[in-house]
């Protein structure tokens, strides 16, 4: 009994340092047995964020964006398109700003600029002696900078911080509808065409030789990347969207050597990171975008440790 | 440009010229592979063998000349899945998270529905192809956990499952263990006996007499072509591999890649 109360006192003291958990401290120190108080207090902390509509909406957007990004990330990691994900996620900025200015759905602007940047990267790579990473680096930073300039010339209508780092707590109903529609369309396309996309990632020559539409699959994949980035940046912003389309796939790849299992493991882990990160952002009173991506990174670190231990066990 | 080919021709290449920027990869290459025939394509690295394959399957555009496959265009043959291309196993990403069965099944994708869901027919064809190359016990194994020779047999099994009528093999014997080499040779012979056609590139001359009734020596242009026994003369081989015909020695080892 004494150990229990010591532990709860210690934890209360530790947690008291965190402003968001003040409620817990109150409950723990309230009358009643320490054991039951602990349990109900933790329950309270777990469910409290979801009593607010804005938190539930944030969770919905973050989980949906995480799951669809995670699906796509499996193939990006296998093809070696991580840098392309980085490029597309940054290149959509001017499109988003312009869409805001003319009042269009910002997915439209984002897709136009995302796909345009990819085409431009391809053109620079194919018509110069530059290597692909250089072409990507030159094009996406320039397009991103155009976006930064655009933002600076538009008075107060566009909040750059919200675009760059996400504003998931402030998503409108229209934004949510847009996210759900785009995510559903992308997710269904990816799942239906998963075997063709895997073949594209694995052996394009064979796909070509047996008469499958290789160029169309590649173009579709890049288009889906642009759309996915649009969905992801609603949840975590332009800067961190790239993590959503790389990290879950990388994590899953460390844990399994079957693409079919990767396509389950990656979305599940991404959803876990989304829930924990969103919850933690309330409990710790920090930004959710950063915390969701940190959670993805922690899961990657855990997967790394697991894969190292396994490799050593085999060797 | 295209000359008429008899019904017995699986592959007819006429006057094919391919240049990459200033480099000439193939110049005025003409060759035939008859139906039910295995033809060897002999040349050193960088002699244009891979370019020839890539042009035949439509991955590289020729500046001049024509390619006819099974009496029609390359595009038609591809659309029917009639051409099988077996790459070197080194060309594959061995860490790619697919099983042996997954890879062989890819040979069937062009006959499947839009989601490429395997039907019983497909499963049967995959099992049969794996049995023919002697890998029936490894269907569930990830492709990185195989030997190089086993991986090469997986790619051959994929072409078998595809039921291609013309098979192009790029250096299938490179780095194979004895068992795998015997298995590959045996399967290719079976294909030819069943009326299929094979064009196989190699720099391993020992497999040619057993397998290929005809051979073509290539060094950007066709140096010699005809029955294998007639073609494999010391003088021809010296020219093919850039040896000095007088001394039989290598003058300089050109490090050209494929």
> Can you list the domains of chain B with their CATH numbers?
8-82+167-247 (3.40.50.300), 94-163 (no CATH)
- Tokens for B66? 């024509």
Q: What does DSSP say about strands B197-202 and B38-42: parallel, antiparallel, or unpaired?
A: parallel
Euclidean distance between CA atoms B69 and B11, whole angstroms: 5
Residue A312: the pLDDT is 83
Give the residue among B51, B3, B38, B30 at the shortest CA–CA distance from B211.
B38
CA distances from A236 to A98, A199, A220, B42 (A): 20, 31, 24, 57
Euclidean distance between CA atoms B29 and B11, whole angstroms: 13
Give the residue among B231, B230, B235 at the shortest CA–CA distance from B245.
B235
A108-130 burial code (b ≥16 CB/10 A, e <16):
bbbbbbbbbbbebbbebbeeeee
Give the residue among A213, A256, A267 at the shortest CA–CA distance from B116.
A213
Average pLDDT, stretch B1-13?
65
Give the residue among A165, A158, A294 at the shortest CA–CA distance from A241.
A165
- Tell me: pLDDT of B251 over 60: no
Residues 48-67 of B with CB under 8 A from A: 57-59
Taking CB atoms and an 8 Å limit, are A209 and B109 in contact across chains?
A: no
Contact list in B for residue A211 (CB cut-off 8 A) is 78-81, 110
Contact list in B for residue A202 (CB cut-off 8 A) is 92-93, 96, 98, 103, 106
Residue given tokens 């080194």 in the structure block = B90
Residue A113: the pLDDT is 92
Euclidean distance between CA atoms B39 and A305, whole angstroms: 52
Contact list in B for residue A261 (CB cut-off 8 A) is 97
Euclidean distance between CA atoms B200 and A73, whole angstroms: 38
Residue B202 φ then ψ, to 5°: -160, 155
Euclidean distance between CA atoms A4 and A2, whole angstroms: 5
Residue given tokens 């038609």 in the structure block = B76
Euclidean distance between CA atoms A136 and B171, whole angstroms: 35
Q: Give the up-direction half-sphere exposure of residue B34: CA atoms within 13 A in the CB hemisphere.
A: 11
Q: What does DSSP say about strands B221-227 and B83-86: parallel, antiparallel, or unpaired?
A: unpaired
Taking CB atoms and an 8 Å limit, are A208 and B92 in contact across chains?
A: no
Lowest mean pLDDT across A78-87, A162-171, B88-97, B223-232: A162-171
Q: Which of A193, A210, A257, A266 to mutate to test the interface with B (most CBs of B within 10 A)?
A: A210
Q: Which of A189, A209, A211 to mutate to test the interface with B (most CBs of B within 10 A)?
A: A209
Q: What does DSSP say about strands B214-219 and B221-227: parallel, antiparallel, or unpaired?
A: antiparallel
Residues in A whose CB is inside 8 Å of some CB of B read 78, 192-193, 195-196, 198-199, 201-203, 205-212, 253, 256-259, 261-262
Residue partners of B106: CB distance under 8 A and separation at least 6:
A199, A202, A203, A206, B158
Using the Cβ of B101 and the Cβ atoms of chain A, whether some distance falls under 8 Å is answered with no
Query: How buried is residue A298: exposed, middle or buried, by Cβ count under 10 Å (0-12/13-18/19+)?
Result: middle
- Tokens for A311? 């490799």
How many residue pairs from chains A and B have C-beta atoms closer than 8 A?
77
Residues A259 and A90: beta-carbon distance below 8 Å:
no
Q: Which of B83, B97, B155 to mutate to test the interface with A (most CBs of A within 10 A)?
A: B97
Euclidean distance between CA atoms A222 and A83, whole angstroms: 12
Residues 68-87 of B with CB under 8 A from A: 78-81, 83-85, 87
Taking CB atoms and an 8 Å limit, are B162 and A210 in contact across chains?
A: yes
Q: In terms of pLDDT, which residue wins out, B191 or A34? A: B191
Residue in B with minimal Cα distance to A192 = B115
Least CB–CB distance from B81: residue in A195, A201, A210: A210
Contact list in A for residue B57 (CB cut-off 8 A) is 205, 208-209
A55-314 falls under which CATH superfamily?
ABC transporter involved in vitamin B12 uptake, BtuC (1.10.3470.10)
Taking CB atoms and an 8 Å limit, are B109 and A212 in contact across chains?
A: yes
Taking CB atoms and an 8 Å limit, are A262 and B79 in contact across chains?
A: no
Where are the domains positioned within chain A? 55-314
CA distances from B131 to A109, B134, B156, B160 (A): 53, 5, 12, 11
Q: In terms of pLDDT, which residue wins out, B8 or A22? A: B8
pLDDT tier for residue B10 given thresholds of 50, 70 and 90: very high
Using the Cβ of B119 and the Cβ atoms of chain A, whether some distance falls under 8 Å is answered with no
Q: What does the pLDDT profile of chain A (315 residues) look like in tens digits? A: 344 444 444 444 444 444 444 444 444 444 444 556 677 888 888 899 999 999 999 999 999 999 999 999 999 999 999 999 999 999 999 998 888 888 888 788 888 998 899 889 989 988 999 998 999 999 999 999 999 898 888 766 567 788 888 888 888 888 899 999 999 999 999 999 999 999 999 999 999 999 999 999 998 998 899 899 989 988 999 889 999 999 999 999 999 999 999 999 999 999 999 999 999 999 999 999 999 999 999 999 999 999 999 888 776
Query: How buried is residue A23: exposed, middle or buried, by Cβ count under 10 Å (0-12/13-18/19+)?
Result: middle
Contact list in B for residue A257 (CB cut-off 8 A) is 95, 97, 142, 144
Predicted confidence (pLDDT) per residue in B200-221, tens digit: 998 888 888 889 999 999 999 9
Contact list in B for residue A256 (CB cut-off 8 A) is 97
CA distances from A28 to A31, A34, A159, A187, A282 (A): 8, 7, 41, 44, 19
Using the Cβ of B142 and the Cβ atoms of chain A, whether some distance falls under 8 Å is answered with yes
Residue partners of B8: CB distance under 8 A and separation at least 6:
B34, B35, B36
Contact list in A for residue B117 (CB cut-off 8 A) is 195
Predicted confidence (pLDDT) per residue in B47-86, tens digit: 899 999 999 999 999 999 999 999 999 999 999 999 999 9
């Amino acid at each position: 009994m004494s150990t229990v109360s010591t532990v709860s006192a210690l934890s209360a003291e530790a947690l008291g340092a965190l402003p968001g958990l003040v409620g817990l401290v109150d409950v723990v120190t309230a009358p009643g047995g320490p054991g039951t108080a602990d349990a109900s207090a933790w329950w309270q902390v777990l469910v409290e964020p979801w009593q607010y509509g804005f938190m539930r909406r944030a969770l919905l957007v973050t989980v949906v964006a995480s799951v669809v990004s995670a699906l796509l990330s499996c193939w990006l990691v296998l093809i070696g398109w991580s840098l392309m994900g980085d490029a597309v996620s940054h290149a959509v900025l001017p499109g988003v700003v312009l869409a805001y200015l003319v009042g269009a759905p910002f997915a439209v602007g984002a897709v136009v600029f995302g796909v345009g940047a990819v085409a431009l990267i391809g053109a620079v790579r194919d018509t110069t002696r530059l290597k692909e990473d250089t072409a990507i680096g030159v094009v996406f930073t320039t397009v991103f900078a155009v976006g930064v300039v655009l933002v600076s010339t538009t008075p107060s209508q566009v909040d750059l911080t919200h675009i760059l780092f996400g504003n998931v707590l402030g998503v409108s109903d229209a934004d949510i509808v847009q996210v759900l529609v785009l995510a559903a369309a992308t997710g269904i396309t990816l799942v239906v065409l998963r075997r063709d996309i895997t073949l594209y990632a694995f052996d394009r020559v064979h796909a070509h030789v047996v008469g499958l539409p290789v160029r169309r699959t590649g173009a579709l994949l890049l288009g889906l990347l642009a759309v996915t980035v649009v969905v992801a940046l609603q949840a975590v912003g332009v800067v961190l969207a790239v993590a959503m389309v790389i990290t879950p796939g990388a994590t899953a790849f460390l844990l399994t050597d079957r693409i079919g299992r990767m396509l389950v493991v990656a979305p599940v882990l991404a959803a876990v990171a989304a829930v924990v990160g969103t919850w933690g952002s309330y409990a710790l009173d920090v930004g959710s975008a950063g915390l969701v991506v940190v959670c993805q990174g922690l899961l990657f670190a855990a997967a790394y440790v697991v894969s190292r231990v396994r490799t050593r066990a085999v060797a | 440009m295209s000359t008429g080919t008899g019904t017995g021709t699986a592959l007819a290449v006429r006057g094919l010229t391919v240049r990459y920027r200033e480099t000439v990869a193939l110049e005025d290459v003409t060759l035939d592979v008859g139906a039910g025939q295995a033809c060897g394509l002999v040349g050193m690295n960088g002699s244009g063998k891979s370019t020839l394959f890539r042009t035949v399957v439509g991955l590289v555009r020729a500046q001049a000349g024509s390619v006819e496959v099974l009496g029609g265009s390359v595009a038609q043959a591809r659309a029917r899945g009639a051409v099988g291309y077996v790459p070197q196993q080194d060309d594959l990403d061995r860490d790619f998270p697919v099983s042996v069965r997954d890879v062989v099944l890819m040979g069937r994708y062009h006959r499947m529905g839009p989601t490429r869901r395997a039907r019983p027919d497909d499963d049967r064809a995959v099992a049969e192809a794996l049995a023919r190359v002697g890998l029936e016990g490894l269907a569930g194994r990830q492709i990185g956990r195989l030997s190089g020779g086993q991986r090469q047999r997986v790619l051959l099994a994929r072409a078998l499952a595809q039921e291609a009528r013309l098979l192009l093999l790029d250096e299938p014997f490179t780095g194979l263990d004895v068992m795998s080499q015997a298995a590959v040779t045996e399967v290719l012979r079976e294909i030819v006996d069943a009326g299929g056609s094979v064009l196989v590139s190699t720099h391993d001359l020992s497999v040619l007499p057993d397998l290929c009734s005809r051979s073509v020596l290539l060094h950007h242009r066709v140096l010699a072509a005809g029955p294998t026994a007639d073609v494999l003369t010391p003088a021809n081989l010296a020219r093919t591999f850039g040896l000095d015909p007088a001394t039989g020695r290598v003058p300089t080892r050109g490090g050209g890649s494929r």
